[in-house]
Each structure stands twice: as C-alpha cells, then as structure tokens.
C-alpha cells in the first residue's frame, strides 16, 4: 500500500523470525512532498517497534501504515521525539511538546510508549513539557538519545526538580 506525504525518516523495526528470534532492522523512508512511496515489503505484517520523530516528517505515513495494517494498536511499540530546539524556533513553539497533539494526530494514536528527548543539551523546561505528556497519559515513559542527557535527566529527577527519570537511553 502506498502513502502520499512529506517524509524523510527512518523506521527501526523489530521482526520475529520463524524460529522466534528477534531481528532488528532499519528501514529508511524518503520522498518529496506529495510523492507516492511504498513502505518496505511486509512492514504491516511482522513489525512492532516504530521509531519516528517530528523532525523526520514521517509521522503521518507511520500513522497511516499502522491503521492500514489492520492490526490492533497494542501490537505496536511507538517511540517518537518531540520538537527539537530548531523546530521550536521555526514553528514558534514554546517548548518541546508545543505540537505534541499534532504528532499524536498524525500517528493516529492517543499515546506513544516512549517520548524520546532528542536535543543537543538537556533543557529542564522541555523535559517538564514531556513529563506533562506522561502525566496526561499521552506517553508511557520518557527516554533520551544520549548518555549526557540521560545523566542530566537522572540528576534532575534525583534532585527533585523533575518527576520522571528516563527509562530508555539510545546513545547515538
């Protein structure tokens, strides 16, 4: 099935082989705005882990693919990243989650499993905006994409300045 949107992103996909072993694959999706593209063969049949982001521009396509799969939402573990500092400036966002409702709408879901902090340098205000999404039930947990940010978030939590520690660290 094809989807038409602006995309430039990656899907990190976990498949289960016939013998039951987990295999993680990376799949790139690129295209010009309005261009038709195909998701990787079999994407809607075996994959459970989806890694996307506002920055990748692929959330609408990912949401459409999940819906088109016919599989229940519970079959998918979705990780997404809120607005980066650069996107916040471009879109006049007040914090990382200023447009998170739009991201959920594009993903066609009411929550993600992990909301991943994906910035250069830890910002307490952005982390708190992400914590608000956990408190509202729109994210199950928070993660970070660098060890440095993980240490800063953990320190913020230990000092009592933040309410949620990171539960996933993706060291880039």
- Pick from 98, 36, 46, 118: which is nearest to 75 by CA? 46
Would the pLDDT of 6 be above 60? no
Rounded average pLDDT over 98-116: 95
CA distance linking residue 80 with residue 112, whole number of Å:
7
Residue 81 has pLDDT above 50, yes or no: yes
Distance of CA 33 to the CA centre of its chain: 21
pLDDT per residue over 113-160, tens digit each?
999 998 778 999 999 999 999 999 999 999 998 888 889 999 999 999
Q: Tell me, what's the pLDDT at 128?
A: 96
pLDDT, position 109: 97
List 3, 56, 117, 164, catalytic entry: 56
Q: Is the pLDDT of residue 102 over 90?
A: yes
Q: What is the pLDDT of residues 22-73, one digit of tens each?
A: 554 444 444 444 333 444 555 444 557 888 888 888 899 889 988 888 888 8
Q: Which of 37, 75, 24, 84 is nearest to 56 (CA)?
A: 84
Active site residue 56: yes
Give me the DSSP letters along 97-147. Answer: TTTHHHHHHHHTSS-EEEEEE--SS--HHHHHHHHHHHHTTSEEEEEESSH
- Calculate mean pLDDT across residues 73-98: 89
**What local confidence, expressed as pLDDT, does residue 21 receive?**
60
Q: How far apart are CA 7 and CA 80, in angstroms?
A: 15
At residue 4, the pLDDT reads: 30
């Amino acid at each position: 099935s094809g989807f038409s949107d602006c995309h430039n992103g990656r899907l990190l996909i976990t498949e289960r082989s016939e013998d039951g072993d987990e295999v993680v694959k990376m799949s790139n999706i690129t295209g010009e705005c309005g261009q038709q593209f195909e998701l990787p063969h079999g994407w809607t049949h075996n994959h459970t882990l989806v890694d996307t982001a506002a920055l990748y521009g692929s959330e609408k396509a990912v949401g459409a693919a999940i819906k088109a799969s016919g599989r229940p939402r519970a079959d998918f573990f979705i990780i997404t990243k809120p607005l980066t500092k650069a996107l916040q400036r471009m879109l006049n966002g007040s914090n990382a989650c200023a447009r998170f409702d739009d991201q959920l709408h594009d993903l066609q879901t009411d929550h993600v499993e992990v909301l991943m902090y994906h910035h250069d340098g830890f910002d307490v205000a952005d982390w708190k905006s992400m914590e608000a999404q956990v408190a509202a039930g729109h994210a199950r947990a928070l993660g970070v994409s660098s060890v440095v940010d993980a240490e800063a978030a953990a320190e913020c939590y230990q000092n009592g300045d933040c309410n949620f520690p990171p539960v996933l660290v993706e060291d880039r």
